[in-house]
Every structure is written in C-alpha cells, then in structure tokens.
Amino acid sequence: MTEKASRDLEDESARAVLTRELKRLRERSGKSLAQLHEDTKYDRSYLCRVESGERFPGMPVMESLDRAYDTGDLLVSLWKLARAEAFRTQYQPFMQYEAKAVIMHKYMVAIPGLLQTEDYARVVLSSELGDSDALEEQVLARVGRQELLRRDPPPSIRIILDESALRRPTSDLKIWHGQLARLIDAAQTPNIVIQVLTFAAGVHDLMGGSLSLLWMSDGSGVAYLEGSKSGELITDSEEVAAARLSYDRLRDLALSPPESLRFIERVLEESTS
C-alpha cells in the first residue's frame, strides 16, 4: 500500500468504511438484493439505499446482515463506530454519562431524543441541517442513543414533558401520530415514567431549557442543562443537588403518570379526529 493510500484510509470515515464493506460483502457472496431481501426480510430498495450510503440503518439491520453474510459482529461493530462518529463533539461528555446512567430524571420542553421515532427525528433535525449528509448522520446519532433502553437491566427513566412539546405537530400528521403512539407505548413500559407538565402549572424555575439528571451505579450524579443551541454539563455535587430540588418541585406540579397517559392519548385522539 502506498503512503498516500494509507493516509486516505486513515482519513476515511467510519460510515464510509461501513458502506464500502456492505458492498464488498454482497459482491463476495454473489447475492442479489432480491436474495438479500429473502435472507433479512428488509425491502430491496431500502437495502440498496443502505448499501449506497443514502440511508443509515438501525442496529437490527446490521445484525441481520451479519447473519446473512456469516460475519460474526463485524457490521454491528462498524455501525457502532459510525454512530459514535456522528455524535456532535459538544455533546459527547453528556452522552458518555448517559450511556452509563442507571437512573435518569429529565424535564423536556421538546420530545426527548430517547423516545423519538426515526421519522420524527429526521423532521426535527432537518429544520437545522436541511437535506444533507449531516442530517442522516445526526438522525443516526439520535436514534442510536436509544440502544441504551435495551440494556439488561434497562435504566430507570422519569420524564417530565412540557405540554408545549405535545402542541407542536409535524406537517405530516402520519409522522406526528407515530410519534405520539411511541410516547404512549413508552409510558406503559415498566422502567419509564412520563408526566406531563401542563400550561396550567404556570411559571417555574426551569423555564427556557431542558434538564437531565443522571445517576451512575456508584451513586454519583451529574446534571445537564440544555438550550436550543447549547448545553452545560454540571458535575459539582452542590449544583447537581440544586438542580434536583428544582426538578422535584416541578414533578409536584405535573400530572400523575396515569393522568399524563390519558392526556397524551387525548392529544392523539384530537389530532386524528
């Protein structure tokens, strides 16, 4: 290998390596897209877009392709590298804590990324990134975070969701209905509690941003304050305790979990009527 070729390989993104490997493995196997569809049950056109790099798949797709090509966990490993590469640099410290957290308490003024559908995430992120390669990378990063929900055991999560998040539907109501249905399903998951903070609760000291409180298995905790374009990671124990007090006060103002579930169901019913 020439020095230039070696340098080009080092500069190649993990996503580019994954795309190249997908094409190489199919060519080596001699399989057509139709045969790959039979092996994996994924649509041929979707598999074609994944192979060309037009779409970034979820991990189950990579697991199916690893089985089809008998490649162990090669593609899953490349997928994880590509996902990590897509995370925005300023959010990486928070993501590292979130990935290890055993308890999460969140106040959100928007639908939390951990519960967003892929279609909804694409709509939200497109307002900032437009139709670009960066858009698919960020959709990948956001949806990829949801893998932590499938840990064994999964983290215990409580989300206080501001009513404003439920009053901003997407222009495509099918996508919005799918997102509301995702929230309803999540609210009935044993390890996830959702409470709605209605407009009637009035003003509070967390207005203007979102808050995440994360606790690790050793009992240590951090807080993360996030605005629309910025975020601040807080590790000082006294500041974390103050943020927790604000969160607890907000929880007292929110609807109970059963009332919150009914509230979201009503929003979905009103949107479909």
Whether pLDDT at 121 is above 70? yes
Which pLDDT value is given to residue 8?
40
List pLDDT tens digits, range 211-263: 999 999 999 999 999 876 567 899 999 999 999 999 999 999 999 999 999 99
Q: Are 112 and 227 in contact (CB under 8 A)?
A: no
What are the tens digits of pLDDT across the range 42-99? 988 889 988 888 777 778 888 999 999 999 999 988 987 877 665 555 567 888 899 8
Task: Say yes or no: do domains 13-85 and 89-272 share a fold.
Answer: no
pLDDT one-digit tens code per residue, 26-46: 999 999 999 998 999 898 888
pLDDT of residue 105 exceeding 90, the answer is yes
Burial readout 21-59 (b: 16 or more C-beta within 10 A, e: otherwise): bbeebbeeeebebeebbebbebeeebbeebbebebbbeb
Question: Which band of pLDDT confidence, cut at 50, 70 and 90, is reported for residue 208?
Answer: confident
**Superfamily for the 13-85 domain:** lambda repressor-like DNA-binding domains (1.10.260.40)
Reported pTM: 0.71
pLDDT at 15: 80
If you ran DSSP here, which 8-state letter would residue 221 be given?
E
Domain ranges of the chain: 13-85, 89-272
Q: How many whole angstroms separate alpha carbon 267 and alpha carbon 177? A: 9
**pLDDT tens string 139-155:** 887 888 898 999 999 99
Residue 21 CB partners (closer than 8 Å, separation 6+):
74, 75, 78
Report the DSSP beta bridge partners of residue 103. Answer: 156, 215
Calculate the CA 272 to chain-centre distance.
Answer: 26
- Length reported for the chain: 273
The alpha carbon of 266 is separated from its chain's Cα centroid by a whole number of angstroms, namely 25
Tokens 């409180």 -> residue: 213
Output the CATH code of domain 89-272.
Answer: 3.30.870
